[in-house]
């Protein structure tokens, strides 16, 4: 069970530091006490019929981390809600999750009124914080009960139970849920323990929100190694460079963009991070120039590039960057590398048949990390989960990644682009159809298209531009609607009104031509 990695370390080293957050260090025994209290309260509620899933609405605080562990220990799946999401998106996740319970911390309680006004049936809400009498809650907060005090009961669960439920961008305009079981997560953590040696007094940093699946890596790989998780109060690149140095961080994990901002701020000076032993980057392409700068800044550590969709549990491949690889200027972007332990990969053509060596096709992912499908059985994306057998491989179920790739003898899997309209910005997955759904609804445009722009030096999207055909549209109103309904990273940077869309020979909107127009407009500006 996923939580066992923490509780085993708590048994073996109760006085060791487990979490640093909000300028305070918490030991394994302190975190265990907090988690068991949450678990006991939830178990008492479960006796009255509330079982299955529990929403977790909290900032990255000691209460939130105790909430993750307590929910798991009670035999439930946690459903994280990011306070950085718009209220409409939080409400959509609450409705689609079907969770009857919600744990909330004081800082998020103030925004519950707006969220719950968008939900037909509100879950039961309980306060996460230790001062559970609710006396410090804002007056505007809805009725929030303290968790019932109860003795802790050891829960015997199954590895096939769902551990957590994350929601990704959906092509229908609604977020789609991905249930990850304990078996899925356990296979990932075990693979990571094989990949990276244990470091004495390890200090892991967590930059992402709990609603982003790399957070699972940060927490449970850290605690499996008996390390301490350090949570900065901000992800500001200037602040975090100093944070690494002040707290002597040994393990880093982020999207390349986070390091790219640090590079722009001239924080990746040679030898800046001598204590870093392992640096992981994933979620988007890693440019060679950034990898070079990072390795110079962290000369005593390993640099690993990871790749994988949420549906296959955090990461599926890894490439270890070496100075020999970086010395070749032809390598503009770091490859995806080879399958992680237990993962199986296959590159296929449109008929799902294996392609010849070095040929480009769609990357399939199989193995014990693969989710069983999306939460909603009628989710169109379930078609990406296929049953298929290939000679020499043991997987019988595969996930169609919609990523174009080819396999090379020297560098493993090399990313060749997307096969659909999904993009990543700062490591966040975005279905362009979801953004188009919001733009179209708020602009009354007959046609709408959203394209990734601008692009950085390696063709990585850093923003979005929306095109509409309605000449009467008020672009300010459309942008306001986007702010209300979309995460910040999915917001179009501008709305462009055009008379007619360029079309391909098949009569589809020519998105490449729209990207070209963006480039010409920027040059003209």
- What is the pTM for the complete model shown? 0.85
Secondary structure percentages of the chain, helix, strand, coil, to 5: 30, 25, 45
Q: Look at residue 210 in the predicted model and tell me its pLDDT.
A: 93
Q: Look at residue 141 in the predicted model and tell me its pLDDT.
A: 61
Closest listed residue to residue 366, CA positions, set 343, 390, 393, 338: 343
Kindly tell me if the per-residue pLDDT of 131 is higher than 90. Answer: no
Q: Look at residue 283 in the predicted model and tell me its pLDDT.
A: 84
Query: With respect to CATH, is domain 27-157 assigned 3.30.70.2740?
Result: no
List b or e across 344-372, with b for residues whose CB sees 16 or more CB atoms inside 10 angstroms: bbbbbeeeeeebeeeeebbbbbbbbbbbb
Q: Are 402 and 383 in contact (CB under 8 A)?
A: no
- Residue labelled with tokens 């950034």: 290
CA 483/CA 285 separation, integer angstroms: 26
Q: Are 493 and 483 in contact (CB under 8 A)?
A: no
CA 336/CA 302 separation, integer angstroms: 16
User: DSSP letters along 174-190, please?
Assistant: S-EEEEEEHHHHHHHHH
184 pLDDT band (50/70/90 cuts)?
very high
Please classify residue 99 by burial: count the beta carbons closer than 10 Å to its beta carbon, then call 0-12 exposed, 13-18 middle and 19+ buried: buried
Q: Look at residue 507 in the predicted model and tell me its pLDDT.
A: 58
Q: Are 416 and 360 in contact (CB under 8 A)?
A: yes
Closest listed residue to residue 370, CA positions, set 333, 328, 331, 339: 339
The model's pLDDT over 416-444, given as tens digits with 9 standing for 90+, comes to 877 877 788 888 888 887 888 888 888 87
Kindly tell me if the per-residue pLDDT of 461 is higher than 80. Answer: yes
List b or e across 114-142, with b for residues whose CB sees 16 or more CB atoms inside 10 angstroms: ebbeeeeeebbbbbbbeebebeebeeebe
Q: Look at residue 135 in the predicted model and tell me its pLDDT.
A: 56
Closest listed residue to residue 99, CA positions, set 86, 80, 85: 80
The domains spanning 27-157 and 430-524 adopt the same CATH topology: no
Kindly tell me if the per-residue pLDDT of 256 is higher than 90. Answer: no
Phi and psi angles of residue 28, each rounded to the nearest 5 degrees, phi first: -60, -40
To which H or E segment does residue 363 belong? strand 361-366
Kindly tell me if the per-residue pLDDT of 124 is higher than 80. Answer: yes
The model's pLDDT over 444-453, given as tens digits with 9 standing for 90+, comes to 776 788 999 9
Q: Kind of pairing, strands 302-307 and 317-321?
A: antiparallel
Going from the C-alpha of 192 to that of each of 91, 313, 334, 503, the distances in angstroms are: 34, 12, 20, 46
Class of domain 430-524: alpha beta
Kindly tell me if the per-residue pLDDT of 226 is higher than 60. Answer: yes
Please classify residue 387 by burial: count the beta carbons closer than 10 Å to its beta carbon, then call 0-12 exposed, 13-18 middle and 19+ buried: exposed
Kindly tell me if the per-residue pLDDT of 458 is higher than 80. Answer: no
197 pLDDT band (50/70/90 cuts)?
confident
Give a three-class secondary structure readout of 190-203.
HHHHHHCCCCCCCE
The model's pLDDT over 17-51, given as tens digits with 9 standing for 90+, comes to 999 999 999 999 999 999 999 999 998 887 755 56
Q: What is the DSSP letter of 147?
A: P
159 pLDDT band (50/70/90 cuts)?
very high
Query: With respect to CATH, is domain 189-418 assigned 3.40.50.620?
Result: no
Closest listed residue to residue 498, CA positions, set 459, 461, 468, 525: 468
CA 199/CA 208 separation, integer angstroms: 22
Q: Where are the domains of the chain?
A: 27-157, 189-418, 430-524
Within a 10 A sphere around the Cβ of 322, how many other Cβ atoms? 12
505 pLDDT band (50/70/90 cuts)?
low
The model's pLDDT over 475-499, given as tens digits with 9 standing for 90+, comes to 999 999 999 989 889 999 999 999 8
Kindly tell me if the per-residue pLDDT of 157 is higher than 90. Answer: no
CA 215/CA 207 separation, integer angstroms: 8
The larger pLDDT score, comparing residue 172 to residue 379, is at 379
Q: Hey, is 47 helix, strand or coil?
A: coil
* HSE toward the beta carbon, residue 317, CA cutoff 13 A: 27
Mean pLDDT of 2-7: 97
Mean pLDDT of 293-317: 95
The end-to-end CA distance of the chain, in Å, is 56
Q: Are 362 and 401 in contact (CB under 8 A)?
A: yes
User: DSSP letters along 265-303, please?
Assistant: TT---TTS-TT--EEEEESS--BHHHHHHHHHHSTTSEE
132 pLDDT band (50/70/90 cuts)?
very low
The larger pLDDT score, comparing residue 47 to residue 454, is at 454
* The pair of three-digit structure tokens given for residue 426, joined into one six-digit string: 């700062």
The model's pLDDT over 372-402, given as tens digits with 9 standing for 90+, comes to 999 988 888 899 999 999 999 999 999 999 9
Average pLDDT in the chain: 89
């Amino acid at each position: 069970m996923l939580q066992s990695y923490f509780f085993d370390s708590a048994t073996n080293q109760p006085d060791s530091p487990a979490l640093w957050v909000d300028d305070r260090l918490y030991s394994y025994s302190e975190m265990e006490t907090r988690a068991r209290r949450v678990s006991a309260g939830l178990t008492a509620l479960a006796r009255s019929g509330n079982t299955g899933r529990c929403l977790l609405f909290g900032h990255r605080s000691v209460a939130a981390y105790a909430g993750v562990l307590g929910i798991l220990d009670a035999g439930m799946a946690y459903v994280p809600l990011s306070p950085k999401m718009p209220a409409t998106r939080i409400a959509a996740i609450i409705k689609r999750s079907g969770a009857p319970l919600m744990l909330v911390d004081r800082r998020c309680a103030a925004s519950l009124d707006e969220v719950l006004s968008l939900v037909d049936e509100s879950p039961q809400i309980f306060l996460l914080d230790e001062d559970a009498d609710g006396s410090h809650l804002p007056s505007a907060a809805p009725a929030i009960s303290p968790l019932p005090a109860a003795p802790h009961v050891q829960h015997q669960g199954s590895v096939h139970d769902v551990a957590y439920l994350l929601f990704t961008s959906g092509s229908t305009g609604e977020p789609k849920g991905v249930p990850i079981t304990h078996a899925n997560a356990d296979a990932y953590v075990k693979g990571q323990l094989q990949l990276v040696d244990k470091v004495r007094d390890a200090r892991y940093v967590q930059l992402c929100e709990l609603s982003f699946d790399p957070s699972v890596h940060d927490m449970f790989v850290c605690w499996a190694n008996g390390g301490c998780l350090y949570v900065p109060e901000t992800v500001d690149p200037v602040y975090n460079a100093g944070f690494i140095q002040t707290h002597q961080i040994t393990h880093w994990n982020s999207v390349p963009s986070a390091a790219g901002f640090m590079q722009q701020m001239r924080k990746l000076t040679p030898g800046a991070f001598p204590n870093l032993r392992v640096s992981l980057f994933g979620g988007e392409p890693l440019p060679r120039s950034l990898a070079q700068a990072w390795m110079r800044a962290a000369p005593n550590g390993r640099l690993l590039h990871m790749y994988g969709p949420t549906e296959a549990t955090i990461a599926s491949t890894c490439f270890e960057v070496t100075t020999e690889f970086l010395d070749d200027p032809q390598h503009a972007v770091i490859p995806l590398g080879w399958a992680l332990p237990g993962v199986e990969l296959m590159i296929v053509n449109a008929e799902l048949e294996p392609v010849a060596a070095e040929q480009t096709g769609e990357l399939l992912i199989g193995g014990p990390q693969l989710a069983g499908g999306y939460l909603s059985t009628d989710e169109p994306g379930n078609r990406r989960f296929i049953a298929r057998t290939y000679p020499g491989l043991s997987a019988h179920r595969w996930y169609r990644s919609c990523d174009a790739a080819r396999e090379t003898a020297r560098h493993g899997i090399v990313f060749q682009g997307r096969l659909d309209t999904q993009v990543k910005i700062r490591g966040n997955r975005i279905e362009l159809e979801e953004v188009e759904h919001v733009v179209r609804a708020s602009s009354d445009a007959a046609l709408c298209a959203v394209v990734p722009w601008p692009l950085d030096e390696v063709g990585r999207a850093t923003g979005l531009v929306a095109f509409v055909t309605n000449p009467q549209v008020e672009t300010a109103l459309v942008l306001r609607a986007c702010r209300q309904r979309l995460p910040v990273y999915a917001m179009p940077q501008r709305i462009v009104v055009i008379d007619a869309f360029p079309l391909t020979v098949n009569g589809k909107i020519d998105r490449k031509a729209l990207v070209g127009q963006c480039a010409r407009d920027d040059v003209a500006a």
